[in-house]
Amino acid sequence: MKASLFFLGTGAPDAGSDDMPAVAVKAGSTLILLDSGEGVQHKLASIGFGLSKVSNVLITHLHGDHVLGLVPFIQTRTLMFKPAPPLTIFGPPGLMKYLNESFSSLHFDPGRSLEVQELKGPEELRDRGVTIRAMLLDHTVFTIGYLVSLSNDFSMCYLTDTRPLAGEDLGLSCSVLIHDSTFSWIDLDRAKEFKHTTALEAATFAIKTKARILFLYHISSRYRNRTFLENEARRHHLNSYATAKYMRLSLIL
């Protein structure tokens, strides 16, 4: 089976940017969306993915850059398809309130096709043939990381907006690691203050989790040349890459 990762947005908040966090994972007929930054529906359409094909959305936390594209995505999807195919959204406590209040303000009813599950702690989920492990991250608000297993041989870990965790203590291992790399090691104090990770720390964590490939993610706009962070990470993990919008990775599982 073939699988593909599509980076729809890879940056941190920045005025005028359309590079807000979102990653699409496609394996066979399964299409999963990780986070839903602004403009995600347009980006899905631009790479040829119909909105109806998305079966699951995994939201990490309720900061705007990760969730402000979700309501437009749901609304457009519901209006375009009658009835809309089932959609399950996993996310932190408060997600249901955010969605319900948004729908009410917009005089919009998403119908019965939408299911929202709030996760209050570590949990293992199975939905539509995909195994999802949720874990708590270390950020300024309640934040969830996700380990997505698409086969016995392939797993992808999505950890964004967090300080680095103790991977060996979590018993965590993954083939592909997408990790918060908001800052460079020279801005470690800022990383600690705002509960983010440096590229160097992400690379160290990648070694602990035995990741074959590390993608540096949620990169601050202060680093106009992302190769700088890539080189920093490769001091510890050679197979490290700074992400960019519309970057794609194809895999054979």
The one-character DSSP state at 117 is E
The letter for the amino acid at 235 is R
Long-range contacts of range 16-19, CB-CB < 8 Å, 24 or more positions apart? Answer: 17/221, 18/245, 19/245
If DSSP states are collapsed to H, E and C, what string results for 210-240? CCCEEEEECECCCCCCCHHHHHHHCCCCCCE
Q: Which amino acids are annotated catalytic?
A: 65
Helix, strand, coil content of the chain in percent (nearest 5): 25, 30, 45
- Determine the residue type at 8: L
Q: Please tell me whether residue 161 adopts helix, strand or coil conformation.
A: coil
DSSP state at residue 152: S
Q: Measured between alpha carbons, how far is 128 from 215 in angstroms, rounded to an integer?
A: 26
Indicate the SS3 state at residue 116. Answer: strand
Closest residue by Cα to residue 223 from 40, 10, 22: 10
Nearest alpha-carbon partner for 136 in 128, 127, 145: 145
Residue appearing with tokens 């949990």? 123
Distance of CA 88 to the CA centre of its chain: 15
